[in-house]
Chain A
Amino acid sequence: MGKIVFKDISFSYGKNVILKNFNLEVEDGQILCLVGPSGCGKTTLVRCLLGLNKPDTGEIWVGDTCLFSAEKRINVPVERRNIGIVFQDYAVWPHMTVAENVLYPLKKRRVPKDEAFKRAHHALEQVKMVEYANHLPSQLSGGQQQRVAIARALVGDGEVIVMDEPITNLDAKLREQMLLEIREIQRNLGTTIFYITHDQQSALQLCDKMAIMEQDGTLCQLGTDEDIILRPTNRFTFEFIGVSNFIPVVASGAGLGLDAGDSVVPWEGELPAGLSLSAGVELGVRPNDIVFDPESPIKVKVNRCTFLGSEYDYRVTLGTRELRVQQSALDAMQRGTVKAGETTGVRLVNPRYYPAKKEAQSA
């Protein structure tokens, strides 16, 4: 019922093209996180879904209902789309109490009073704000106002809730708690949640599926969190969703070599089809995919070692090139840590090859 479909959506402000033939599907009863850097058009897409912006082309469907179609000249007004929204700046109405804020959508949808109160109470319960029902927003903290906004989005019987960076203004602990609560609420209600963020960490915690959007407004990958993390389709995704090391790949004799800055280290690997050394190739590897192994011919010097609780974070140099290495605490317990100043070998597990960027530096 609550499946969201964006089909060929284009949108531009004057000559400034934000979205071009954008396609995306959010499956019913799932949480899809749309992740992308600031300014890539995430909010514009949300506004199109809500009916606040009118796309130039394409169609938008929620379930069996066509909300917008440029071709069929359909444009359902905002108020009839029945989509819950949590705005980035909360948009809690300052002249209404918490209870009035949450009751408002029910009032507008002509829900009988008794039921409305019950549902509003339930929504407030879910965000743990019942005792603040008669407060004005000015008497609440930012996090509390945020919860009111979420309760307001939950209270309608909409099949779809959109959250546009709803937890950016909360502290880390509260953020984690909110994410768990959103997840919990979604499980109870079975709503489809379309969650917009630029923070891949919270996306990972929350989502069933993740969609990565590039700076120019194109969708570069859609998949489960494992897909995205383990099998990023391109360099942008790889770089965007986590810390990454890049090492240029060069020819070394008959085989390949890693450019260490001052020398070339032989590398036994194979380039995937479609990449050629002449255009420049880089090897990307995650810090936790670099494993210390004294036997390995790839020698690095350890500069610094920081204990981060669940893992050790190393800065090492391969020739003149700095790399980040992470060793889980468990691994460190079994095999011991490496001290700063030591030289040891490393193995690169699960390497990925990407076309080189102009300035090849690890992100």
Chain B
Amino acid sequence: MSIGFGKQKDLAALEGRHVSLDGALTILSFVLLLIIVVIPVFMIVYHAFFYQGHFNPELFKTQLLDPKNLGAMWNTVKIAFFVTVFGTIMGVFYAWLLGRSDIPAKGLMRALFSIPYMFPPFLGAMAWKLLLGGRAGYLNKWLWATFGFRMNINSVWGIVFVEISYYFPFVFMQVVSALERMDPTLEECARIAGARQMTVIRKITLPLVLPAISAGALLILITSLAHFGVPSILGFSQGIFTLPTRIFDAIQSAEGSFEGIRQGAALSIMLVVVVSLALIVQKHVLSSGSYDIIKGKSMRPTLIKLRASKLPLLVLSILTLLLIVVVPLVMIFLVALVNGYGNALIPANFTLNNYISVFKAAGTFDSIKNSLFASVVAGIVCMSLGTLIAYVVQKIRPRGKGLLEILSVLPYSIPGTVLAVGVILAWSGSLGVSLYNTIWIIIVAYLARYLSFSMKSSSAALLQVHSSLEEAARTCGASHTESLKDITLPLIRPAMVAGFFLIFLPAMREVTTSILLYGPFTRTLGVQIYAMQDAGSMSEAAALGSVAIVLIFICDTIVKYITKDRKGV
């Protein structure tokens, strides 16, 4: 967004022409989405149905009728459904508890609840596998010895459990910020009108934050449908496949031949169909309205007293935090320290040998460097681009805004694996640009994957910036560009920073696309860890995993410190 557009707009307006800043932003959004999204997607579709330039649906038909693929499809839907339902309930519940009630230790709990964001889900799956995986799991061994039974995390329900604990923050974060910005008189009116506390929550609070809930639930749904890490770590050994892991499997077992990539493309089209159906169903279940619940008039939210239920709810929150945050985290660090996987987790068995061997291994430092670079670049670009598109969709509202919205969300409904295939097909020379084996091909894939995160985040914030704020700036002598810079951007900055995190942190721990796009010198951190655990070196994987966690935690703290601002809205 350069100043140039502003000048153009002014001159154009004086001359009565219609090329304005708004128009320029709209066109820019379309062009960028064409490059980042449309081309790779087109390549996937093309190669699924066309073979050597001819239409050939044979491949698609055989893939669709394969019972193995149908089973994978059923698993995908089942897992995503339960993860979305339970994740949304959990997210809304804790958002309300931390956002609007007088429960103690809010700051601490909120910090802890945001840890699942940083924690790579596949590391979580690894941790639970170390605890509850078959006979070898630490907790299972104890359960078997004490009660004579064991639990099996390598199951559909295990996958659902682990995914919920990493995906409920999507709803939690969205709803917490919406709740904090809501006009409290809306609730107070209902209380005064005679509604009881529960009725107010049901009839006033929930409907008002419904756009936020719905946005978060949508994220959970598509993330879970396209998720690769957890089902691959927990499901492969038991033959439990979801569509994304099936695609990876197909491409892996074809050992890089073009046939395997085409097969993956055909399977991914099945997944896209499933996702589209899910989106349609969701749209009917949750129709999201749009409300300006923040206006230029500032609000002070009131807190609701929990009274007698304070203690039980506090205990519940602490137990939840223990289960989803503390247990996996501690597990990774303990296994990283133990001198052999399976040995008792006591100080006598602790050693630093795992760390030493990890850092002696070639490529560890490179993988960290690669991940940092790719994540920062992708985060910044996505944040700007997502805000741009959100602004066009929410404030300019041109014809075709629906298309813009769909295009920016579309890539996330495509599994990362297949997106990777699309990126390979598009940017390895066939269109005249070759990024193959460079870090840029990974970054391009990240951009497409994570764009919807920042778009949604900025969109929700923009919905709450009343247009009179920008208009007031215009009348004070600010050009359109200046009013964006001085008013709108600072007001949505918290959401933009949130958008950056929504991209930077998952990109740091990304496995799904990187695993197909890395070259000899562009291994990422996630790829490195995944390869180690895949090779069975659990302790080394845990050691590097713990390094990754520390690294992500440090980055998170640094960025939060930098972006800290006295005027958070």
A1 within 8 A of B: no
Pick from B7-15, B112-120, B372-380, B445-453 the stretch touching chain A.
B7-15
A92 within 8 A of B: yes
A145 within 8 A of B: yes
Q: How far is the CB of B568 from chain A (nearest CB, A)?
A: 8
- Mark out the residues of chain A between 60 and 109 whose CB falls within 8 Å of any chain B CB in the assembled complex: 73-85, 87, 89-96, 104-105, 108-109
Whether the pair A83, B475 counts as a contact (CB closer than 8 A) is yes
Whether the pair B468, A89 counts as a contact (CB closer than 8 A) is yes
Q: Which residue of A lies closest to B486 (CB)?
A: A104
Whether the pair A52, B477 counts as a contact (CB closer than 8 A) is no
Given contacts A89-B468, A91-B468, contact A77 B13 (CB under 8 A): yes
Q: 1/0 per position for B536-569, CB-CB distance to A under 8 A?
A: 0000000000000000000000000000000101
- In whole angstroms, how far apart are the Cα atoms of A79 and B476 in the complex? 6
Q: Which residues of A contact B296 (CB under 8 A)?
A: 87, 89-94, 137, 145
- Mark out the residues of chain B between 148 and 196 whose CB falls within 8 Å of any chain A CB in the assembled complex: none
A-B contact pairs, 28 of them (CB 8 A): A50-B475, A52-B474, A73-B15, A74-B16, A75-B14, A77-B14, A78-B471, A79-B474, A79-B482, A81-B475, A87-B471, A89-B297, A90-B297, A91-B468, A91-B471, A93-B296, A93-B487, A94-B294, A94-B491, A95-B490, A95-B567, A105-B476, A105-B477, A109-B477, A136-B298, A137-B298, A149-B472, A152-B476
B532 within 8 A of A: no
Number of A-B residue pairs having CB atoms within 8 Å of each other in the complex: 109
Which of the listed residues B14, B295, B298, B473 has the most CB atoms from chain A within 10 Å of its own CB?
B298
Q: Which residues of B contact A50 (CB under 8 A)?
A: 471, 474-475
Given contacts A87-B471, A90-B297, A145-B297, contact A95 B491 (CB under 8 A): yes
Whether the pair A82, B298 counts as a contact (CB closer than 8 A) is no
Interface contacts beyond A51-B474, A140-B298: sample of 10 additional A-B pairs, CB < 8 Å, sorted by A: A73-B16, A84-B475, A85-B472, A91-B471, A95-B491, A96-B567, A104-B478, A136-B298, A136-B567, A152-B472
- In whole angstroms, how far apart are the Cα atoms of A232 and B15 in the complex? 43
A138 within 8 A of B: yes
Q: Which residues of A contact B473 (CB under 8 A)?
A: 93, 104, 108
Which of the listed residues B9, B297, B466, B469 has the most CB atoms from chain A within 10 Å of its own CB?
B297
Q: How far is the CB of A194 from chain B (nearest CB, A)?
A: 13
B330 within 8 A of A: no
A223 within 8 A of B: no
Whether the pair B479, A145 counts as a contact (CB closer than 8 A) is no
Q: Which residues of A contact B300 (CB under 8 A)?
A: 138
Whether the pair A89, B466 counts as a contact (CB closer than 8 A) is yes
A156 within 8 A of B: yes
B299 within 8 A of A: yes
A266 within 8 A of B: no
Whether the pair B472, A77 counts as a contact (CB closer than 8 A) is no
A145 is contacted by which of B15, B298, B472 (Cβ under 8 Å)? B298
Instruction: Report how many residues on chain A are interfacial, defined by Cβ distance under 8 Å.
Output: 38
Instruction: Report how many residues on chain B are interfacial, defined by Cβ distance under 8 Å.
Output: 34
- In whole angstroms, how far apart are the Cα atoms of A90 and B298 in the complex? 10
Q: 1/0 per position for B286-324, CB-CB distance to A under 8 A?
A: 000000001111111000000000000000000000000
Whether the pair A52, B471 counts as a contact (CB closer than 8 A) is yes
Q: Which residue of A lies closest to B565 (CB)?
A: A95
- In whole angstroms, how far apart are the Cα atoms of A76 and B10 in the complex? 8
Whether the pair B567, A77 counts as a contact (CB closer than 8 A) is no
- Mark out the residues of chain B between 479 and 531 whose CB falls within 8 Å of any chain A CB in the assembled complex: 479-480, 482-483, 486-487, 490-491
Q: How far is the CB of B556 from chain A (nearest CB, A)?
A: 24
Q: Which residues of B contact A73 (CB under 8 A)?
A: 15-16
Q: 1/0 per position for B1-31, CB-CB distance to A under 8 A?
A: 0000000011001111000000000000000
Q: Which residues of A contact B483 (CB under 8 A)?
A: 79
A29 within 8 A of B: no
B14 is contacted by which of A76, A78, A90, A95 (Cβ under 8 Å)? A76
Whether the pair B299, A138 counts as a contact (CB closer than 8 A) is yes
Q: How far is the CB of B441 from chain A (nearest CB, A)?
A: 39
A142 within 8 A of B: yes
Q: Which residues of B contact A142 (CB under 8 A)?
A: 297
- In whole angstroms, how far apart are the Cα atoms of A77 and B16 in the complex? 10
Q: Which residues of A contact B479 (CB under 8 A)?
A: 77, 79
- In whole angstroms, how far apart are the Cα atoms of A141 and B296 in the complex? 12
Q: How far is the CB of B468 from chain A (nearest CB, A)?
A: 4
Whether the pair B471, A75 counts as a contact (CB closer than 8 A) is no
Q: How far is the CB of A66 from chain B (nearest CB, A)?
A: 12
- In whole angstroms, how far apart are the Cα atoms of A160 and B300 in the complex? 34
- In whole angstroms, how far apart are the Cα atoms of A84 and B9 in the complex? 22
Given contacts A91-B466, A91-B469, A95-B567, contact A78 B298 (CB under 8 A): no
Q: Which residues of A contact B468 (CB under 8 A)?
A: 87, 89, 91
A93 is contacted by which of B10, B13, B472, B480 (Cβ under 8 Å)? B472
Whether the pair B475, A94 counts as a contact (CB closer than 8 A) is no
- In whole angstroms, how far apart are the Cα atoms of A105 and B13 in the complex? 21
- Mark out the residues of chain B between 385 and 433 whose CB falls within 8 Å of any chain A CB in the assembled complex: none
Q: Which residue of A lies closest to B476 (CB)?
A: A105
Q: Which residue of A lies closest to B469 (CB)?
A: A91
- In whole angstroms, how far apart are the Cα atoms of A51 and B13 in the complex? 11
Q: Which residue of A lies closest to B296 (CB)?
A: A91
Q: Which residues of A contact B490 (CB under 8 A)?
A: 95
- In whole angstroms, how far apart are the Cα atoms of A92 and B469 in the complex? 7
Q: Which residue of A lies closest to B474 (CB)?
A: A78
Q: 1/0 per position for A47-60, CB-CB distance to B under 8 A?
A: 00011100000000
Ranked 4 nearest A-B pairs via Cβ: A138-B298, A108-B477, A105-B476, A73-B16
Q: How far is the CB of B481 from chain A (nearest CB, A)?
A: 10
Q: How far is the CB of A137 from chain B (nearest CB, A)?
A: 5
- In whole angstroms, how far apart are the Cα atoms of A249 and B298 in the complex? 54
Which of the listed residues A75, A82, A91, A149 has the most CB atoms from chain B within 10 Å of its own CB?
A91
Whether the pair B16, A93 counts as a contact (CB closer than 8 A) is no
Which of the listed residues B294, B296, B469, B487 has the most CB atoms from chain A within 10 Å of its own CB?
B296
- In whole angstroms, how far apart are the Cα atoms of A78 and B472 in the complex? 10
Q: How far is the CB of A147 from chain B (nearest CB, A)?
A: 13
